[in-house]
């Protein structure tokens, strides 16, 4: 490019691009600083309280207890609810993307899914209470919490699965059918192996989202734990325990207990996201 080509009209898009880059960089740094302003005080106050006793001991009303049952309840309830809602979401997503070809029905389905996704989770929890606890006489327990978790996670997992299936180009399906493969063979041998890494990583996001749920579980799983785990017994999670400490806890060191509990919850979320990402990378490399 000659010097005569460096006109103001040529330089203007470049300067605008640099300005946009600097603005986004400032916004990103602001978001990081805002996160650190929360995490650093949490770590400073909560780290002295962390110990093996805190991670495995049962909670005590007057403090110096632990959150062992809460961690176990969280892992059990989130894991089982994912095992229920994720396969159902994948099956419905397969039908929605690969088999349903009525445009009007697909539009109504998508609108209904968006409505369900916009519902506050506490509404879903109250619906579970109305049917499971009041009408079916289920106890406020782990199993009721698993039902609430499954209903909360299913539409979210379904929307993610539909998005993953729609990312596959239609040309791939047409090429597979042209080679003589059936629709089911195309789904199981071509599409699913390609999108499994995306589904695994998105499942990690959904799991992290469930770990922080409190409103629905207060009414369905309860705010206390029993001495021995049972599906029919109350099952307080880490997030619910954190809410309880900050609102109704009687322990004198409530601030430190809450900080340590919040720090454990944050570490659990980070661990889930890291494991899901690494597992997705491993599956992707194995399929190459």
Digit-coded pLDDT (tens) for 19-36: 777 788 889 898 889 888
Go through 53-66 and write b for each residue having 16 or more CB atoms within 10 A of its CB, e for each that does not. ebeeeebeeebebb
Digit-coded pLDDT (tens) for 110-161: 888 888 888 899 999 999 999 999 999 999 999 999 999 999 999 999 999 9
- Per-residue model confidence (pLDDT) at position 16: 66
Residue 94: phi, psi to the nearest 5?
Answer: -60, -45
CA distance 158 to 113: 9
- Confidence at 9, pLDDT banded by 50, 70, 90: low
Cβ(144)–Cβ(218) below 8 Å: no
**Dihedral angle at the C-alpha atoms of 95, 96, 98, 104, nearest 10 degrees?**
130
Ranges of each domain in the chain: 3-49, 52-287
Alpha carbon separation from 283 to 63, 122, 194, 198, 245 (Å, rounded): 44, 36, 9, 10, 40
pLDDT at 275 over 70: yes
**Tokens representing residue 135 in the block:** 């009408």
Superfamily (CATH) of domain 52-287:
MetI-like (1.10.3720.10)
Cβ(157)–Cβ(85) below 8 Å: yes
**Tokens representing residue 268 in the block:** 């659990």
**Dihedral angle at the C-alpha atoms of 225, 156, 31, 35, nearest 10 degrees?**
10
pTM: 0.86
- Confidence at 13, pLDDT banded by 50, 70, 90: low
Burial of 257 (0-12, 13-18, 19+ CB in 10 A): buried
The more confidently predicted of residues 9 and 267 is: 267
């Amino acid at each position: 490019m000659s010097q005569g080509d460096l006109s103001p009209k040529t330089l203007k898009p470049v300067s605008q691009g640099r300005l946009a880059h600097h603005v986004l960089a400032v916004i990103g740094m602001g978001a990081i600083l805002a996160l650190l302003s929360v995490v650093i005080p949490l770590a400073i106050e909560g780290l002295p309280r962390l110990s093996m006793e805190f991670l495995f001991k049962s909670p005590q009303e007057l403090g110096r207890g632990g959150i062992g049952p809460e961690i176990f309840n969280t892992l059990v309830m989130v894991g089982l609810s994912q095992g229920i809602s994720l396969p159902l979401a994948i099956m419905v997503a397969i039908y929605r993307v690969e088999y349903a070809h009525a445009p009007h029905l697909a539009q109504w389905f998508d609108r209904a899914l968006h409505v369900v996704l916009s519902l506050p989770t506490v509404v879903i929890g109250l619906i579970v209470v109305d049917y499971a606890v009041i009408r079916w006489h289920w106890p406020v327990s782990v199993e009721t919490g698993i039902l609430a978790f499954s209903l909360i996670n299913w539409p979210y997992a379904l929307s993610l699965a539909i998005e993953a299936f729609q990312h596959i180009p239609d040309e791939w399906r047409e090429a597979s059918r042209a080679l003589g493969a059936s629709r089911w063979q195309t789904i199981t041998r071509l599409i699913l192996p390609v999108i499994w890494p995306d589904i695994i990583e998105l499942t990690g996001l959904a799991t992290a989202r469930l770990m922080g749920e409190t409103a629905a579980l207060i009414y369905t799983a309860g705010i206390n734990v029993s001495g021995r785990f049972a599906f029919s017994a109350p099952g307080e999670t880490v997030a619910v325990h954190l809410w309880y400490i900050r609102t109704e806890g009687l322990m004198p060191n409530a601030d430190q207990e809450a900080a340590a509990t919040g720090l454990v919850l944050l570490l659990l979320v980070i661990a889930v996201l890291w494991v899901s990402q690494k597992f997705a990378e491993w599956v992707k490399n194995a399929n190459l």
